Chains A and B, each alone.
Chain A
Amino acid sequence: MSKLNEEVKKELASFINSLDVVLTPSDLRAPKDLFFDSGLVVFEDSLVGVDEVADCLAEEKRKVFLLDNEYDDYGFLKALIEANEKGQWLIVDCKIDPSPQMISILKQVSDRNSFTVPNFNNQELFSLKINSNTRIIFCIESKLLEKITYPSFVNLFGPVIRI
């Protein structure tokens, strides 16, 4: 049973919808190059968690990944690739300060909806263009958010919602 009240559910639905439909240029110099954003959900209430966010999407449309190991770049990448192949939304339950590699991926996705990483999948450079049906949502507790070492972490995302 959802722990969210109706108002918060509406806000979350609006957040999901804006992630789904809104495209913006990452730089005003190229206004025709439109990209979708990643989203950030900040839990102010410790009783609320990633399940409430996941429930906003149909099961076949989402993939949840638990990020609780800062060295698990591989796990994060693998989950993203799998979600991307199926056009699913990747919902990341973030329990740690993300690694530099993860930050780099999020930044690249934010800038151009694609990314390149070295030494993955037996490739010197592995590149992936994000499926237009795929989105990334990071879910994080507000106390952890304050401890994230990358100072522009919130700027990696478009819509941000606090629940």
Chain B
Amino acid sequence: MENKFEFSSQEEQRKIEAIKEEMGIAFYEKEGQKFVNILGVELETYATEEDIKEIKERWVLSEFDIEVIRIIAECYKLRQPLMLEGGPGAGKTFLAEKFIKIIHGKDAPILSLTGTSKLTDLDILGHWTPKGSDGEDETAYREKLGELMKKGEGRDVNDEFNQKLLELNERFSSGFINEDDFQNEYSQLLGEYKDKSYEIISTMAHNEGFIKSGSDWQFKEGPLLQAYSGREGKGNILFVDEFNLIPSNHQQIFLRIGGKEGSISDSFDFHGNSGKNRYSRGKDTWICFAQNYPEKTGGRSVVVDAMADRLVWKSISPEASLQKKKDIILTGGGRMDSVSKEIASVTMDKLKISIPTKEQLVWYDTPDRELGRQITQIINSLDEIFVNKYHQVGDRIIGEGNEEIDRIQKFEFSARAPLRFFSYIDNFQVKDPETGKIDFAKTIQDGFKRYYLGCLVSLNLQKEIEEAMKEIIYGDIGKVEFEGEIKTRKEVLDILVERSCGSNQKENVGEKTKDTLTGFRSFEDSLSRKMNNLSDKIRKI
């Protein structure tokens, strides 16, 4: 039976309507597996159809909600860690938790971490504890452990680790070392820190009588490690709330989540239980962060540049929340179901959100490579414009005193942003509804909003840069000479797409290459997991 939510080239418009009828969130099953389609982003789900139905029935969707839930869905699909930043009541926690329920079921436990200024690496990563200890024993042990790590030897070890990490960050930020070197050195540093901590903790535990022999230890994995490999290796979605309440030295623990192409790392190296030192990323692993603006809510700090760079950043401006309030009022607080549906329907129609096509083109592997060249040139131009403008004028926000001030939260915009952009283009290409052909101009526009404009609070700055972007893609400023004629980038892209799709041989070559690359990546992941398992076994022997 045809799946009404799965697109094919001829019926895409009808299917877009079908998604809209479902308020943008549609459940379906395919070959015995359950899926949810969130505005065209197809994701596996553990939830039932009844779960999804109930979640939607109790939710007054607004345009803003749909935009954010789509961003969450995209980042989850690409395993790119996401930061939702906004004022109190903006809906950050609500939307993140709703998403987790859509994926894991309405009654699923939600693994979360609430940032406070007292949060330490023990709370984030986990801690060594005497085997079998629980209850009052564990309380007494943790009390001693807490005192040890706050004063004396433990504090010295912490201070040394934090200082070295700070220096490592500075060397990376200033370009003395590259990403791979940073990750290697960080893993080493973390390992050394844990060895030293283990030594002093072990001495304390023996002296205080918590353990009798060297084998009486167990490591209780904290939320971050459970995110990677909890649920028997499948991993969890971890929601880290109030991230900027965590002291910056402990925020840095999360640096290790930065992986290839701006996604979550394949593993987290750590000295854990029974000698295990690698927590491989599970198929369901993902991390979503949330925080209030440090400029507007007291007690918050900034996220260090290196950490901010590892996250897709979505700033929720105060204006965006206003429409939500209006929708709530017009539905009588959700009492008027028919009005709720009407609003949702109007919202869907007004939406400019593009539904990705099933038939993605391998843009970097066309026979003449010209499409890839054009796209990378455009992205390079957009990146340059954005970064220059950002460094020139900076972002602004309405502060606590209701006056406009410079943002104290800053961003680096390293190569991660374009790398994420490329992943986006690999996965979320959209078609021009009139021509039925892939519209890379629109796809790039959407990606640019996601990875660059999304982190800005100032609507004026967003508009200004968006206008510059449109000029590059559609306007005179971006025109280039193409085969002897001056054309806009959009025109050139459309010509190249036409050529790429015109020849079946070319399309098949592209598809075959894509399949080969996909297969290679799967093989690489599988081999990596097998090597890790083998290492664990050897270690146990």
Residues of A within 8 A of B (CB): 25-33, 69-75, 78, 97, 99-101, 103-104, 107-108, 111-112, 116, 118-119, 121-122, 124-125, 127, 149-152, 155
B94 near A30: Cβ-Cβ < 8 Å: yes
A119 near B126: Cβ-Cβ < 8 Å: yes
Complex CA distance for A28 and B143, rounded to whole angstroms:
40
Query: Shortest beta-carbon distance, B251 to chain A, in Å?
Result: 14
Complex CA distance for A152 and B335, rounded to whole angstroms:
31
Complex CA distance for A114 and B490, rounded to whole angstroms:
51
Query: Shortest beta-carbon distance, A80 to chain B, in Å?
Result: 14
A125 near B230: Cβ-Cβ < 8 Å: yes
Q: Which residues of chain A are within 8 angstroms of B118 by Cβ–Cβ distance?
A: 97, 99-100, 149
- B339 on the A face (CB < 8 A): no
Which residue of chain A is the closest to B127 with respect to CB atoms?
Answer: A119
A127 near B109: Cβ-Cβ < 8 Å: yes
A31 near B333: Cβ-Cβ < 8 Å: yes
Stretch of B132-140, B181-189, B357-365, B521-529 at the chain-chain interface? B132-140
Which residue of chain A is the closest to B220 with respect to CB atoms?
Answer: A119
B245 near A27: Cβ-Cβ < 8 Å: no
Query: Shortest beta-carbon distance, A160 to chain B, in Å?
Result: 17
8 contacts between A and B (CB under 8 A): A28-B60, A28-B328, A29-B62, A31-B331, A74-B134, A100-B115, A122-B134, A151-B298
B139 near A118: Cβ-Cβ < 8 Å: no
- B519 on the A face (CB < 8 A): no
15 additional contacts (CB under 8 A) given A28-B328, A150-B245 = A27-B91, A28-B60, A30-B58, A31-B328, A32-B58, A71-B143, A75-B139, A103-B114, A107-B114, A111-B97, A116-B109, A124-B221, A125-B109, A127-B109, A151-B245
A118 near B222: Cβ-Cβ < 8 Å: yes
B334 near A30: Cβ-Cβ < 8 Å: yes
- B330 on the A face (CB < 8 A): no
Given known pairs A97-B118, A119-B220, the reply for A74 and B297 (CB within 8 Å) is no
Given known pairs A29-B60, A118-B226, the reply for A74 and B135 (CB within 8 Å) is yes
Given known pairs A29-B65, A31-B333, A71-B143, the reply for A118 and B91 (CB within 8 Å) is no
- B146 on the A face (CB < 8 A): yes
Given known pairs A100-B118, A151-B297, the reply for A124 and B139 (CB within 8 Å) is no
Q: Which residues of chain A are within 8 angstroms of B298 by Cβ–Cβ distance?
A: 151
Complex CA distance for A75 and B136, rounded to whole angstroms:
7
Complex CA distance for A5 and B241, rounded to whole angstroms:
42
Query: Shortest beta-carbon distance, A111 to chain B, in Å?
Result: 6
Q: Which residues of chain A are within 8 angstroms of B231 by Cβ–Cβ distance?
A: 124
Complex CA distance for A115 and B420, rounded to whole angstroms:
34
Among A78, A101, A107, A155, contact of B123 (Cβ-Cβ < 8 Å): A101
Query: Shortest beta-carbon distance, B415 to chain A, in Å?
Result: 34
- B119 on the A face (CB < 8 A): yes
List residues of B (409-459) whose CB comes within 8 Å of A's CBs. none
Q: Which residues of chain A are within 8 angstroms of B88 by Cβ–Cβ distance?
A: 152, 155
Query: Shortest beta-carbon distance, B332 to chain A, in Å?
Result: 9
Q: Which residues of chain B are within 8 angstroms of A75 by Cβ–Cβ distance?
A: 136, 139
B299 near A151: Cβ-Cβ < 8 Å: yes
Among B58, B119, B241, B335, contact of A107 (Cβ-Cβ < 8 Å): B241
> B81-101 vs A: 1/0 string, CB under 8 Å?
000000011010110010000
Query: Shortest beta-carbon distance, B167 to chain A, in Å?
Result: 27
Complex CA distance for A74 and B220, rounded to whole angstroms:
14
B116 near A100: Cβ-Cβ < 8 Å: yes
- B324 on the A face (CB < 8 A): yes
Which residue of chain B is the closest to A156 with respect to CB atoms?
Answer: B114
- B520 on the A face (CB < 8 A): no
B111 near A125: Cβ-Cβ < 8 Å: yes
B123 near A100: Cβ-Cβ < 8 Å: yes
Q: Which residues of chain A are within 8 angstroms of B220 by Cβ–Cβ distance?
A: 118-119
- B374 on the A face (CB < 8 A): no
A74 near B109: Cβ-Cβ < 8 Å: no
Q: Which residues of chain A are within 8 angstroms of B254 by Cβ–Cβ distance?
A: none
Complex CA distance for A104 and B123, rounded to whole angstroms:
11
- B117 on the A face (CB < 8 A): yes
A74 near B226: Cβ-Cβ < 8 Å: no
Complex CA distance for A71 and B58, rounded to whole angstroms:
38
Q: Find the residue from B57, B61, B110, B123 having the highest chain A CB count within 10 A.
A: B110
Complex CA distance for A71 and B150, rounded to whole angstroms:
13
List residues of B (142-175) whose CB comes within 8 Å of A's CBs. 142-143, 146
Complex CA distance for A26 and B111, rounded to whole angstroms:
19
A111 near B91: Cβ-Cβ < 8 Å: no
Query: Shortest beta-carbon distance, B207 to chain A, in Å?
Result: 18
Q: Which residues of chain A are within 8 angstroms of B331 by Cβ–Cβ distance?
A: 31
List residues of B (42-77) whose CB comes within 8 Å of A's CBs. 57-62, 65
Q: Which residues of chain A are within 8 angstroms of B333 by Cβ–Cβ distance?
A: 25, 28, 31
Query: Shortest beta-carbon distance, B208 to chain A, in Å?
Result: 14
A125 near B112: Cβ-Cβ < 8 Å: no
Query: Shortest beta-carbon distance, B296 to chain A, in Å?
Result: 12
